[in-house]
Amino acid sequence: MNLPNKLTVARVIAVPFFIVLYLKGFFAAALILFCLASLTDMLDGKVARARNLVTNFGKIMDPLADKILCYSAFCLMIGDRTMASWMLIVILTREFTIAGMRTVAASEGHVIAAAMSGKIKTVLQMFAIIFLILMQAVKGSSTLYSPVYMIAYTLLYASLVMTVYSGIEYVVKNIGVFKESN
């Protein structure tokens, strides 16, 4: 297994540890682990492209690892009411729609490549999560809480807008997948 794929697997392995830290209220440690795991997303792609180590495993597992990391965090945040459940429903609706389109396309021998808007969505989600966890970590500090709160929810809503936009973009650009499969 090459280095980029090891980084992707490490991101998945980090998730249960992140969950335990968050649930136990160790928000600073959860934040550090989430940041490190998020950095592996950027690093694995750069290394894979620079060293020509792009693999089918990486193409499938890298975005899946991102989703496992981010959506685990979102589930935790719904549990402690940091985030509204409808927000995750919007996110998952987009993900299942795109996954369905990719499955239909693959059955017809086509590949739907990741678009830049989807990558921006992921980065916004990761930054939103970082600030939402930071918000939990500084909850007792009135001097830090308010600005962190504002940044966290601005990023969260920006990620939701990009989620909807990128979902619409995928559907519009790839609607032919459904026409070809009839």
- pLDDT for residue 181 is more than 60: no
- Give the pLDDT confidence score for residue 57 in this predicted structure: 86
Q: Report residue 54 CA to chain centroid gap.
A: 20
Q: What is the mean pLDDT of residues 40-53?
A: 90
What's at 168, amino acid-wise?
I
pLDDT band at 180 (very low <50, low <70, confident <90, very high): low
- Give the pLDDT confidence score for residue 108 in this predicted structure: 82
CATH of residue 97's domain is: 1.20.120.1760
pLDDT band at 165 (very low <50, low <70, confident <90, very high): very high
| Residue span of the structural domain in which 79 resides | 3-180
Counted domains in the chain: 1
Question: Looking at 43-52, 80-89, 162-171, which range is the least confident one?
Answer: 43-52
| Arithmetic mean of pLDDT over the chain | 92
Angle between helices 27-50 and 116-137 (to 10 degrees): 160
pLDDT digits (tens, 9 = 90+) for 92-114: 999 999 989 988 888 888 877 77
Closest CA to 92 of 110, 71, 115: 71
Q: What is the mean pLDDT of residues 8-31?
A: 97
Q: Report residue 36 CA to chain centroid gap.
A: 14
